[in-house]
Amino acid sequence: MTEKDKMLGERMYNPMDPQLVKERLKARLLFQEINLLNDNEKEKRDELLYTLLQNVGKGLWIEPPFYCDYGYNIKAGKNLFMNFNCCILDVAEVKIGDNCMMGPNVQIYTATHPLEVDKRNSGHEFAQRISIGDNVWIGGQAVINPGVTIGNNVVIGSGSVVTKSFPDNVFIAGNPAKIVKTIDHS
């Protein structure tokens, strides 16, 4: 089993494996180029974004700068909007539904490290998938931690730290995030 297989399987893996280092560098070079393009180069930016994020539907709009680990682990539906300075550590799959919006400085982290000091100091790490439903609005500076599932039609308040999963049709906020209210769509 390769280190990449371990990584994608949410097992402990060595992030300094040459294949993984090469893949992160490829993503980094792409998003650095994307982040340097000006507003008059939207066509070129879109082309590079879809090269970096091959598993994303139509209607992608990302305000630079944008950062990610690999890009290929980000899977999204149509009409995804990310405001300035979003960062997705996509060591494991990040699945995002249709019609999602993210405010500035949203951080989505699949990467995590062991709690035990000896294991943590080994340099090995692991990741846990994140799933975000359809029609989700994530407020600015929100953080979504590894292993979280967010239901459909959820609103996440600005500055929230999401450490656990939440069902459909709720407004969540706080650190750690909790349900503030149910959203009535009638």
Query: What pTM did the predictor assign?
Result: 0.95
Residue bearing tokens 């709720």: 170
Residue 186: the pLDDT is 73
Q: Hey, which residues does 3 pair with through a beta bridge?
A: none
- Indicate which CATH number applies to the domain containing 23: 2.160.10.10
Q: Which tokens sit at 162?
A: 């999401």
Q: b vs e for 145-179, b when ≥16 Cβ sit within 10 Å of the residue's Cβ?
A: bbbbbbbebbbbbebbbbeeebebbbbbbeeebee
Domain coverage including residue 152: 3-182
Each residue's pLDDT, cut to its tens digit, for the chain (186 residues) gives: 999 999 999 999 999 999 999 999 999 999 999 999 988 898 999 999 999 999 999 999 999 999 999 999 999 999 999 999 999 999 999 999 999 999 999 999 999 999 999 999 999 999 999 999 999 999 999 999 999 999 999 999 999 999 999 999 999 999 999 999 999 977
Cα distance between residue 141 and residue 108, in whole Å: 10
The DSSP letter of residue 7 is H
Residue 87: the pLDDT is 98
Helix, strand, coil shares of the chain as percentages rounded to 5?
A: 25, 30, 45
* Residues labelled catalytic: 113
Domain count along the chain: 1
